[in-house]
Amino acid sequence: MNITFLGAAQEVTGSSYLVEADGVRFLVDCGMFQGGRETRAKNHRAFSFDPRGIDFVLLTHAHIDHSGLLPRLVALGFRGAIHATRATCDLLAVMLPDSAHIQEKEAEHENLDRFHRGMARRGEGAGPAHREIAPLYTVAQAQTSLKRLNPVDYDLEIAPHPAVRCIFRDAGHILGSAIIEVWVGEGRRRRKIVFSGDLGQPARPLVRDPTPILDADYLLVESTYANRDHKSMEATQDELVEAITDTIERKGGNVIVPAFAVGRTQELVYLLADLTRQGRLPKLSVFVDSPMATAATEITYKHMELLDDETHALLGRQGGAQYFRKLEFVEDVEESKALDRIRGGAVIISASGMCEAGRIKFHLRANLPRHESSVLITGFQAAGTFGRRLVDGARRVRLLGEDIPVRASLYTLGGLSAHADRSALLTWLANFRDKPRRVFVVHGEDVVANGFADTLTERFGWDALAPQPGQRVTLD
């Protein structure tokens, strides 16, 4: 049995693992690399295999860094099934076409920019001096890939291949997220591999806690925040109240919140409603400016059975609207542009969460130069992303072709992360009754992943390592 670490190896994006054993070849996740210009080339060359030779795909959840290359996989010849939870399948129906739309627009803008640069160099009479770049995949290809989805239920065994059995368990990360237990082979050759996917932080709003797993021959565990603990929810709520109160009530500005459309946006709406219910915040004017976030919120309400009891009690049938002065889901482009004319008093939640694409760029352009406004960072910012530059203290940034000064205040709420922190990861791992034969620490930046592998060796006596990108390991 062999496993190849195609992505999320000593980095956080591009999750994808190729398993080969007993005449079967399958992928667990097929994610897009994100952050920085070099990721375009990485995404174009991501497949070191023939997609036509892959039997099936198991998908842990819908986030683009785990699912975003599925349309390309199908476009290049994959004809198997993509197995994912029902909520994940519903989310992908929104997220993959949206990702494709971004790919098309970015290719269009790049080609136009290249054309103008070529004209400037060669003179007005010259024709185009470059080959047009193609999008990574198109909206049509994304729609085609959705036909390969096979929805599965939590906690029920499925057999995607005669030599493979698997069960999806709730990972508590976002709606529909899964830990996948996979058994490969028969009889004495049967081996169990556990893929943690992205594990959620226990006792957080909306989703349930991650499911404990008791045993595995081989384990792949994420390590996004394996080097630190998050602030408590109480401290995070205090910071959220401070950021909003200071910005809106004292300085009269706007609070701009880059947020992942799936999970983080819904969690923020819940928290703002809860803080208003407690009397810690006044009723606010909140604008959710992301068509995908609107669709994801509707999908969340469709799968209320997957949410925790506290969420049911607070949101009820009205979705918590009674706790807001205004709660508006913005879809129209002109309405989105109008938000940038609001001078104060608004909380604008918009995608993307790492500020790499989408409407958030326009809201940042309008508010970053304003001392009275604030930017609220609520999730992990991968190396090379625009959001990471803000977190690292950039005082000037290049945005939408303009040089923008950063005068707005910046708040970072690490306690809202949908990823388990160091303590939560160690607590989840302590559920294993016997030590796995080998543990692979993935989905973490190099220093973090290697450090956590050392921790697992020292604390549990496990054979743990952080694989290199592209590394192929023989398991038996």
Q: What are the pLDDT tens digits along the chain (476 aa)?
A: 999 999 999 999 999 999 999 889 999 999 999 877 788 889 999 899 999 999 999 999 999 999 999 999 999 999 999 999 999 999 999 999 989 998 898 888 888 877 777 777 766 555 555 678 889 999 999 999 999 999 999 999 999 999 999 999 999 999 999 999 999 998 888 999 999 999 999 988 888 999 999 999 999 999 999 999 998 889 999 999 999 999 999 999 999 999 888 888 888 999 999 999 999 999 999 999 988 888 998 998 899 888 888 887 777 655 678 899 999 999 889 999 999 999 999 999 998 888 887 899 999 999 999 999 999 998 778 788 898 999 999 999 998 889 999 999 999 887 888 899 999 999 999 999 999 999 999 999 999 999 999 999 999 999 999 999 999 999 97
Contacts of 336-342 with CB under 8 Å at 24 or more apart are 336/289, 336/362, 337/362, 339/287, 339/289, 339/363, 340/365, 340/366, 340/367, 342/254
Inter-residue contact 183 to 139 (CB < 8 Å): no
Pairing mode of beta strands 402-405, 409-412: unpaired
- Beta partners for residue 435, in sequence order: none
pLDDT at 102: 85
pLDDT at 356: 84
Spatial neighbors of 221 by CB under 8 A, at least 6 apart, are 196, 199, 425, 429, 439, 440, 441, 442
How would you write 230-287 as a 3-class SS string? CCCHHHHHHHHHHHHHHHHHHCCCCEEEECCCCCHHHHHHHHHHHHHHCCCCCCCEEE
In the DSSP assignment, the letter for residue 203 is T
CA distance 370 to 2: 54
With both helix axes pointing from N to C terminus, report the angle between 264-277 and 291-302 in degrees, rounded to the nearest 10. Answer: 70
Identity at 300, one-letter amino acid code: T
In a 13 Å sphere around the CA of 79, the CA atoms on its Cβ side amount to 3
Question: At which residue do the structure tokens 């945005």 appear?
Answer: 399
pLDDT at 318: 57
In a 13 Å sphere around the CA of 42, the CA atoms on its Cβ side amount to 22
Return phi, psi of residue 182, to 5°.
-125, 125
Inter-residue contact 33 to 46 (CB < 8 Å): yes
Direct distance between the N- and C-terminal alpha carbons of the chain, in angstroms, rounded to an integer: 6
Instruction: For CA atoms 157, 191, 65, 58, give the dihedral sign.
Output: negative
Tokens at residue 469, please? 């990108």
Measured CA distances, 248 to 302, 313, 369, 448 (Å)? 33, 28, 16, 37
Inter-residue contact 1 to 20 (CB < 8 Å): yes
CA nearest 344: which of 321, 368, 378, 367?
A: 367
CA nearest 169: which of 201, 135, 202, 209?
A: 209
Structural domains in the chain plus CATH codes: 2-227+419-474 (3.60.15.10), 233-416 (3.40.50.10890)
CA distance 164 to 224: 29
CA distance 266 to 263: 5
In the DSSP assignment, the letter for residue 131 is P
3-state helix vs strand vs coil in the chain, percent to 5: 35, 25, 40
Strands (E), 59-177: 81-85, 149-152, 158-161, 164-170
Identity at 385, one-letter amino acid code: T
Measured CA distances, 114 to 83, 194, 292, 373 (Å)? 40, 46, 30, 35
